[in-house]
Amino acid sequence: MRMTNARWFLTSLGFLAAACAIPATPELQDSPWSAPGAGERWFKGNTHTHTINSDGDSPPSVVARWYRDQGYDFLVLTDHNFLTRVEVLQGEIDRENARGKKPPFLLVPGEEVSDKFDKAEIHVNALDSSRVVGEQGGRSRRDVLQRCIDGVRAAGGVPPASHPNFKWTLSADALATAKHYRHFEVYNGHPDIHNWGGGGSPSLEEMWDDLLTRGVRLYGVAVDDAHHFLTWGNRKSNPGRGWIMVHARELTREAIRAAFERGDFYASTGVELDKIEFRSGVLRLSIKPRGDARYTTWFMTRGGRVAAREVSLDPSCPLKAGDGYLRARVTSSAGEHAWTQPVFEA
């Protein structure tokens, strides 16, 4: 089911008369994640950024140090059809961090596989891949998308679908037929991505609910898709606009990748969460307050329906029988957001 932007907006903002009444509990699977315990923590990272190796304005050394100096824990370099080797730069940063007694910072190799069909641009990121994938070709948009995903898998990488609304290239129908991918950019900080939809086309979040309702299990990723580190402005694709917080025991490629693949992370444009738990059929969050900001949490389920709306710093909602999935979006009064991953009925 696809909702119009107006309907989604009004539904999301409307109060519910009877939020989260608990019916008979469905058969459930507890999530593999919860609040970080002993030896576990949240690691902040960006999985989509560019350098002069494609269409960015700065070399990998400058880009990597920007993220390190802004408190990120890891970064994936994803130039168009180019795989940046990170070993030498990683060594330089490790030595700098040791001398300056700075926290560790991890670089992960990647690529933005960039292809097209006719004039439609189709992009799939390759995270932690071992070789260049490049253009794959195909007989239709869906065929090119699938070939790009399969190419990333063959190169040993993880293939998130990049910015479907960029030039309105990929519809929910196209994404619903694709196989062998589990990640989807629900937010992209580039100014030309159309995150919020328009003119009858769905927002990326509406598209996510559409796909989840169809049974396509996807995890939502937020990225900045940065290109510009030398000039700044609303029409520039600057860094720091979207990221993920990954829950892992250690800052290694293996641990970060494993957590990313199983959906043990949340996406953010500024809202921070201390805790996410799904136990005994109830999704619970703990929001980290900042200044005098106020927060509203929407719990979303099948068909993009709002299951509950809460203004507490510790919101919760049960997954009801027949809902299929439950996820949360937290919005601050400053206009920042966080998205948790969906939890599913068994």
pLDDT in tens, 92-131: 999 999 999 999 999 999 999 999 999 999 999 999 999 9
Structural domains in the chain (count): 2
Q: What is the pLDDT of residue 346?
A: 78
Ranges under pLDDT 70 in the chain: 1-39
By three-state DSSP, how is residue 306 classified? strand
Of 247, 269, 291, which residue is a domain's last?
Answer: 269
What pTM value is reported for the model?
A: 0.90
312 and 258 in a single domain? The answer is no
40 and 101 in a single domain? The answer is yes
Six-digit token string for 77 = 């370099």
What is the span of the domain harbouring residue 342?
270-346
Of 208, 243, 269, which residue is a domain's last?
Answer: 269
Six-digit token string for 255 = 């641990």
Six-digit token string for 67 = 């993220």
Amino acid identity, position 209 = D
CATH number of the domain at 275, please. 2.60.40.10
Q: What is the pLDDT of residue 205?
A: 98
pLDDT in tens, 173-190: 999 999 999 999 999 999
96 and 165 in a single domain? The answer is yes
242 and 310 in a single domain? The answer is no
Q: What is the pLDDT of residue 40?
A: 81
Residue 5 lies in a domain: no
Closest by CA position to 7, among listed 168, 200, 216, 163: 200
pLDDT in tens, 9-45: 334 434 333 333 333 333 334 444 444 444 689 999 9
Q: What is the pLDDT of residue 214?
A: 97
Closest by CA position to 46, among listed 315, 227, 174: 227
- In angstroms, the CA 92 to CA 163 distance is 32
Dihedral (CA of 194, 247, 36, 242) sign: negative
Token pair 């992209």 is found at 188
134 and 275 in a single domain? The answer is no
Six-digit token string for 298 = 């929407």
CATH number of the domain at 60, please. 3.20.20.140
Residue 50 lies in a domain: yes
323 and 299 in a single domain? The answer is yes
Cα dist. 275→151, 157, 246, 311, 340 in Å? 36, 29, 12, 16, 11
Of 245, 269, 293, which residue is a domain's last?
Answer: 269
Beta bridge partners of 187: 222
172 and 224 in a single domain? The answer is yes
Q: Residue 134 contacts by C-beta under 8 Å, 6 or more apart in sequence?
A: 81, 113, 151
307 and 230 in a single domain? The answer is no
Residue 12 lies in a domain: no
197 and 323 in a single domain? The answer is no
Amino acid identity, position 115 = D
Q: What is the pLDDT of residue 187?
A: 98
74 and 148 in a single domain? The answer is yes
By three-state DSSP, how is residue 166 classified? helix
